[in-house]
């Protein structure tokens, strides 16, 4: 039987209408959105179906919208008779989706948590004071060195740092706007093939998110966690974990620590994963796996039609 990993996308993969295929296919997705609406006391379903796009793009709404849509895709896979994967992982927000699908985190709790997470992230840094940029074509160590140089030059630790190690030669930096600008200049001087400022309102996964992490830690104390039924590879460590308290601590650290996605892909490769299925909107993660290893079979589940194209017999659980 093929060893498979399911991966769940983070912010940036959202779009108006992303859940339409699931909502039109069965009542399961509708039920999920109704539960989310009850938790958040808002019409999240209408927002996902009709927008407006600028509201869906606000962090506190993007996060629950993506989580619910990806869980709907996961339920669609299960309803079609798909087998349980051997590993789960999610990029940033997607880690919460992975924990829900692994049975470690209650769906309703997750919806409330990621909504608050988005609010805390948005309020942690005044608009315009933070920034993020993608740097292509440099090794991780070079980018880390560039950030250290900038921090030393301006005399402030953590002013800019690596936020996402997305794939070999693709790293996102995050921090104070001026520090990020200086780091991108140094990256160009170091030979970066491309530097792309990102249109974001929140500088994620850097020291500016420590206040948000403190608030999230308080909320997490009242949330029940369980050992995952399917191993989840965590962003902070790029390893699996079965301890409920450690998972809780990792979710807090995740807010101000880099997403180690390159290392996550390496972990899955070393674990013998033979195919990867991206579960949820977009194909961002599938692209990163292809960048990591073009020979690695990947697929994307964004609709019931995508599931029907996969050979379920090869992926069916024989246990």
* Alpha carbon distance 202, 204 (integer Å): 6
* Alpha carbon distance 39, 105 (integer Å): 15
CA distances from 73 to 50, 216, 252, 289, 311 (A): 19, 27, 26, 20, 17
Which residues have a catalytic role annotated? Answer: 92, 205
Backbone angles phi, psi at 53, to 5 degrees: -60, -40
Strand partners, 167: 170
């Amino acid at each position: 039987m093929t060893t498979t990993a399911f991966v769940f996308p983070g912010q940036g993969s959202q779009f108006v209408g992303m859940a339409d295929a699931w909502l039109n296919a069965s009542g399961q997705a509708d039920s999920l959105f109704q539960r989310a609406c009850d938790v958040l006391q808002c019409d999240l379903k209408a927002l996902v179906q009709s927008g407006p796009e600028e509201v869906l793009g606000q962090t506190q709404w993007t996060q629950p919208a993506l989580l619910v849509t990806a869980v709907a895709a996961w339920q669609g896979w299960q309803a079609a008779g798909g087998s349980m994967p051997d590993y789960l992982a999610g990029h940033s927000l997607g880690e919460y989706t992975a924990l829900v699908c692994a049975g470690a985190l209650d769906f309703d709790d997750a919806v409330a948590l990621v909504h608050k997470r988005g609010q805390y992230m948005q309020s942690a840094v005044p608009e315009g004071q933070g920034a993020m940029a993608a740097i292509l074509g440099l090794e991780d160590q070079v980018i880390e060195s560039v950030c250290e140089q900038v921090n030393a030059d301006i005399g402030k630790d953590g002013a800019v740092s690596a936020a996402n190690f997305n794939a070999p030669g693709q790293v996102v930096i995050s921090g104070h706007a001026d520090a990020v600008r200086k780091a991108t200049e140094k990256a160009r001087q170091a030979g970066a093939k491309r530097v792309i400022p990102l249109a974001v309102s929140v500088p994620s996964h850097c020291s500016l998110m420590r206040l948000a992490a403190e608030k999230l830690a308080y909320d997490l104390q009242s949330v029940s966690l369980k050992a995952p039924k399917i191993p989840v590879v965590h962003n902070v460590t790029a390893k699996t974990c079965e301890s409920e308290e450690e998972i809780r601590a990792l979710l807090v650290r995740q807010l101000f620590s880099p997403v180690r996605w390159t290392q996550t892909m390496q972990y899955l490769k070393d674990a013998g994963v033979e195919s990867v299925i991206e579960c949820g909107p977009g194909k961002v993660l599938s692209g990163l796996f292809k960048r990591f290893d073009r020979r690695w079979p990947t697929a994307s589940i964004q609709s019931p039609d995508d599931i029907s194209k996969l050979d379920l017999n090869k992926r069916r659980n024989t246990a």
